[in-house]
Amino acid sequence: MNYDVSEVRSHFPSLQSGAIFFDNPGGTQVCQEVIDAVTYYYRHANSNTHGAFATSRRTDEIIADARAAFADFLNVSSEDEIVFGPNMTTLTFNISRAIGRTLDEGDEIIVTRLDHDGDIAPWLTLQERGVVIRWVDVDVEDCTLDLTQFEKHLSSKTKVVAVGGASNAVGTINDLKAITSLAHMAGALVFVDAVHLAPHAPIDVQALDCDLLACSVYKFYGPHLGVLYGKYELLDQLNPYKVRPAPNQPPDKFETGTQNHEGIAGAGAAINYLASVGEKYGGPFADQAKWYKGRRAHLKTALAAIKSYENEIFRRLLRGLQELPGIQIYGIAEAARMNSRTPTVAFTLEGKTPREIAEYLGRENIYVWDGNYYAFALMERLGLEGHGGALRVGLAHYNTAEEVERFLEVMRQLTVNSEQRTNC
């Protein structure tokens, strides 16, 4: 497949700055289509919802269109299963409180040490209701979940299994289908944090059969906005905290207060941008109606092409890091297992703190994250939390092989300088 990264980059104005954006797991750059959609909303539709006038009706249409876009993105059975909110963490707290109202003292929830704290803390808060938390450990050698321990934790007391689709720190992709199947056999609900998975792989909630799944649009080229999927029957049964005049039906009863309408407009545009990437490889449609009808197929094509391209340049990145002295890589490092991880790597360098490395790279116009990136439990488990965490480099579909080589060149300079000082 002839992946045209130059054409992809032309959609992102910020890439013209010359900076190398390897901070993508914390938030990607925004495409022009999203910027245009947000601008259009402010100019032509800025209003609250359900009014009897033109701008309000346009707002309703834009929200409906965005819901339909995410229904295609996640392959949901009903657009009413899509809930918008400020971010994944806030949505998770909201849903955990609603589920918590149905739980009894002694009921159990399973969380993992591989996850972002946004999929841990909202469930830990339910301990105040007498809920018991069971932890699934990780293998520190490759940062994969201990699924044997997970199975041992499952029982008739298990009410919720909270698990990440992929680790935002070390890139491990979890076997969601197996985890969901085992959880359902025990009678538990499954909540998936798909924030880090969504930019890198197609998601089909019907195939996964998960009960709830959340992601964040700013991780895949859109505005700061969270999206929650829930099976309609479950959303209908749950009783969330809300104002009294708000509707009692999903998704509205979970969308507390006035939403970020301009962000929702941009979120729908982000999905359409991704579909357009797939359209280039899947063949264009003659008119818009047919294009929307084929959007799900375009999205699958796009994400397959993106994954293939990202894996290609990530192999070069990983191989280059492995050749440098003093580097400790955390997570899956074998080239043969690239499909079990995202193009995100965390590492440390002997003699340098992660912040010092990040600052050095920043002076070279290369942007990366250091610290724990809210993967607090994992950094504790790896023994890194008290030592500045790790440096994280994450690729996106607009990064290039040349950027990877530039990063490795700078890292070689840093490791040579570090070795020379050590030998003095």
Residue type, 423: N
**Secondary structure (3-state) at 202:** coil
The structural architecture, per CATH, of the domain 33-270 is: 3-Layer(aba) Sandwich (3.40)
pLDDT of residue 291: 56
Q: What is the pTM of this model?
A: 0.95
CATH number of the domain at 5-29+307-413, out of 3.90.1150.10, 3.40.50.970, 3.40.50.300, 2.40.160.10? 3.90.1150.10
Specify the pairing of strand 108-112 against strand 158-164: parallel
pLDDT in tens, 188-233: 999 999 999 999 999 999 999 999 999 999 999 999 999 999 999 9
Q: What is the number of residues in the chain?
A: 424
Cα–Cα dist 84/88, whole Å: 9
pLDDT at 281: 60
The structure tokens listed for 228 are 């929650």
Express each pLDDT in 146-179 by its tens digit. Answer: 999 999 999 999 999 999 999 999 999 999 999 9
Pairing of strands 344-349, 189-193: unpaired
C-alpha 197/C-alpha 203 separation (Å) is: 8
DSSP, res 424: -
C-alpha 365: how far from chain center: 25
CA distance 395 to 316: 12
**What is the number of other CB atoms lying within 10 angstroms of the CB of residue 363?**
9
Domain positions in the chain: 5-29+307-413, 33-270
Which residues lie closer than 8 Å to 73 by C-beta, 6 or more apart? 198, 203, 271, 274, 299
The token duo for 414 is: 């840093």
Tens digits of residue pLDDT in 356-398: 999 999 999 999 999 999 999 999 999 999 999 999 999 999 9
Query: What's the mean pLDDT in 270-289?
Result: 73
How far apart, in whole angstroms, are the C-alpha atoms of residue 376 and residue 349?
20
Q: Quote the pLDDT of residue 279.
A: 78
pLDDT digits (tens, 9 = 90+) for 94-142: 999 999 999 999 999 999 999 999 999 999 999 999 999 999 999 999 9
Which residues have CB under 8 Å from 91's CB, separation 6+? Answer: 83, 85, 214, 226, 227, 228, 254
What pLDDT band is residue 417 in, cutting at 50, 70 and 90? Answer: confident
DSSP state of 365: T
